[in-house]
Amino acid sequence: MSNRFSRRKFVKFAGGVIAGSAAVGSAPLVNLLAANAQSSTGYKVVGYFENWSQYRQGGGKFLPAQIDPSLYTHINFAFGIFGYITKGIAPNNPRLTGDYRIQPIEWNDQTVLYPEIQKLKLKNPNLKTLLSIGGWGFNDPQDPIQIGTYTYNLFSQMAASAAGRQQFIYSALEYAQKYKFDGIDLDWEYPGYQGRGGRPEDFANFLALVREFRTAISGRNFLLTIASSAIVPSGVPDQYRSNPGSYFQWLAQCAQYLDWLNVMSYDYHGAFPDDKVTGMNAPLPQDSTPKGPFSVKNTIEAYLAAGIPNSKIVMGIPTYGRTFKVSSPLSLTDNGPGKSYSSVGPAGISTVTPGVLSYYEIQNRISSGSLTRRWHEPTLTPYAYNSQTSEWVSYDDTESIGYKTSYLIEKKLGGAMIWAIGLDQFQSGFPLIKRVKSILDNPALRPKLPSYFVSGGRRYNQYSFLCTHNSFANSDENWTAANQFNTITKQLNDGVRALMLDIYNAEFDSLLGGKGVYLLHNFNPNASFPGINYALPLKHLYDALNEVVAFLKNNRNEVVTIFLEDYVYPDTNKLKEELDKVTGLKELIYDPDNNPNWSVRVTGEWPLLSEMIEWNKRLIIFSDKNHNNLTTKIGVAYDRNYILQNFWSLGVGGTDWDCQSRWRDGYHYQIVPEGTPYSQWRYADPQLHPKVVEKKSALFLFNHFRDTPTRITAALDNTYDKIMDRIENRCCNSAFLPKEKTTKQLPNFVAVDFWQEPVLYNNKAANVVQELNRRWENKLGCANR
């Protein structure tokens, strides 16, 4: 954190946040129960109070008495310093003291602000307070309020000798006891940072400092925490920048002696020298820069990979925004991140810092109409802009903070840290901090994270998706023989993530349409009215694909799969021409045969769903014909190379509920004899890629529909109990997988007609998919509950 705001430069590196991981030993057992306050559910809520917020104008003045202590488990007072007497204390004689003893910054810290902070314990007896020592400005040789000019190297000097460390530690303990603080928070930004008083030995010396501090408080009810960087600071030695994992492993060594780390998971982007375009201050699942490494998720995963215990990671949440003055035009349709900018945004009336606005200043501008709020789905954060003034702001609001809080619960972290209390909209009751506290107190209130984000470590073939059979034939568009109620767009918006499409090529003009690839059934190429025998009206394949592309562009974190029953084959060029008509399609297609990032054909394993989203390869198209045997590569995969599939029909009258394979000798099916080796199963189609067989990574498309469906038959067939019974007792028994060789494979796709049927709540195919994903997440087999 800084004496004004947290402002940091970061090193950027390819390939993500960390390059390695290492476990560390557990922390010494110290009885800190009395000092270690918790919320009702065990989570910490740590809020920083800025002692300079007392000077803000324009309704922004903020004092300890305005704090609602019920919202916090811990309050950190920012800041104390050491080795220097400020102008606030000695207006005519600010000076270095020549020692490492703790000093106040403001003239009224000791007489007014400290006592007011401690009085909050009368309203919340469980509240604990800590003095935070340091801050960004303390180590900034160009500090605008002229503290860092004199103090920027004091941390490094103090930590370099045992005598200096001992003097600092015992002065901190004495000072904390005198002013009734329950702990010390060290905010050295950052050890080893060249240009900010750092040197390479700082890493070993800081570790010695926290180890000796822990020894000094052993057996006391006293807390020791630090403020820690979100990613590797750019000024540290090359060994940490070239191997980022080693930096987090160093933090893990420090964590042995700390109660927790306040992770400054914000300031990823701002009007900083190395940021050339606008970006998000605190992007959650991924960077706002394509393929960039900066996100809260990457930070937390780096901490965890280094061996830092979940409970010691307290995730930072900002109550302010970063602002820019963009140099490119902003419009209703083009206003997101990634725009070039000419300068920082204008200062707020209260915070008076160019490039930064408090949440209340942002909300006031939105309410007055001078900023327009928009949502950025890829980062799960909002932004706001003014097309007339070219002002652009990245910030967090109650919606994005809900997701962040949900994420820290998902990762079982120690809690949330707020920078800063007085930057929330305190005039309206602290809506951001209340949002954090309410969710932590009652996790049932947390918003649902996108499925890929909840389990970023799961591969594409470790999810189940709802699939619609004959997705194009729908009542909304007046098809003569409908299999679904709604358009493809409506299906996708309602949660369908896989589509089955039958395609035919028309080589002539007709009264109903011209040449091209159509969505049809039973096409008679010699008929005057193509498709008249089943499934009017006509619709081109590119029309349907345009709907899919539009959905994916509007929903950056979703993945869609398409299965083609392909009667265009063997004319691959015709199919290619149809695909080429769809703007933006190629950039979205993930080709498991030829993708340069990850080839399933070569590795035998599917990429992580989160990786596909990061690459923006979020559409997979399978065909039941092998276009890859031809010269032209169009990105359409052959389904029998990757997919296991049960027979497509429930039989005459819907009475055949067995789960036999669709494929035998190219088309027919058989029940697999019990005891058949895996390599000879008909479900392990001889045309499956060998690596897919080896890795047991074939997808399972579960077909569940009749030859001639109606809404009534769908309501009868599509109940949760019937579908689950078929999966568990037909597809998972020896008729599907030999008992002694079972892979406990769950269906990846559940394909049905009229997917909304039956209308009874929690009793349809979508609920089956939900249950299957629960089992994937908990690593349960298809017959394990």
C-alpha to C-alpha distance for 225 and 184, rounded to whole angstroms? 6
CA 499 → CA 31, 43, 183, 615, distances in Å? 58, 42, 58, 22
Which regions of 23-163 does DSSP assign to beta strands (E)? 44-50, 74-82, 84-85, 95-96, 102-103, 128-134
Residues 6 or more apart whose Cβ sits within 8 Å of residue 69: 75, 120, 121, 123, 124, 127
For residue 233, the one-letter residue type is P
Torsion sign (Cα): 726, 731, 734, 740 = negative
DSSP one-letter string for 605-617: SPPBHHHHHHHT-
Torsion sign (Cα): 774, 779, 782, 785 = negative
For helices 541-554 and 572-580, the axis angle rounded to 10 degrees is 50
> Tokens in use for 437?
């506290």
For helices 162-178 and 202-216, the axis angle rounded to 10 degrees is 50
Please check whether residue 525 is in contact with residue 507, taking contact to mean a CB–CB distance below 8 angstroms.
Answer: yes
> Tokens in use for 717?
């067939």
Could you count the other beta carbons within 10 Å of the beta carbon of residue 160?
18
> Tokens in use for 694?
């080896």
Backbone phi, then psi, for 547, in 5-degree steps? Answer: -65, -40
Please check whether residue 295 is in contact with residue 244, taking contact to mean a CB–CB distance below 8 angstroms.
Answer: no
C-alpha to C-alpha distance for 660 and 671, rounded to whole angstroms? 5
Nearest to 297 by CA among 608, 47, 617: 608
C-alpha to C-alpha distance for 594 and 635, rounded to whole angstroms? 8
Residues 6 or more apart whose Cβ sits within 8 Å of residue 381: 280, 281, 282, 283, 284, 375, 394, 395, 396, 400
Please check whether residue 771 is in contact with residue 463, taking contact to mean a CB–CB distance below 8 angstroms.
Answer: no
Torsion sign (Cα): 82, 86, 90, 96 = positive
Please indicate whether residue 201 is annotated as part of the active site.
no
Backbone phi, then psi, for 685, in 5-degree steps? Answer: -45, 135
Give the chain's largest Cα–Cα span.
Answer: 100
Nearest to 18 by CA among 259, 254, 307: 307
C-alpha to C-alpha distance for 580 and 107, rounded to whole angstroms? 70
Residues 6 or more apart whose Cβ sits within 8 Å of residue 163: none
Catalytic residue among 189, 558, 578, 605: 189
C-alpha to C-alpha distance for 254 and 24, rounded to whole angstroms? 10
| 3-state SS, residue 375 | strand
For residue 387, the one-letter residue type is S
Nearest to 659 by CA among 680, 678, 681, 634: 681
C-alpha to C-alpha distance for 633 and 586, rounded to whole angstroms? 12
CA 489 → CA 413, 494, 578, 582, distances in Å? 38, 9, 19, 16
Eight-class DSSP state of 233: B
Question: Could you list the active site residues?
Answer: 189
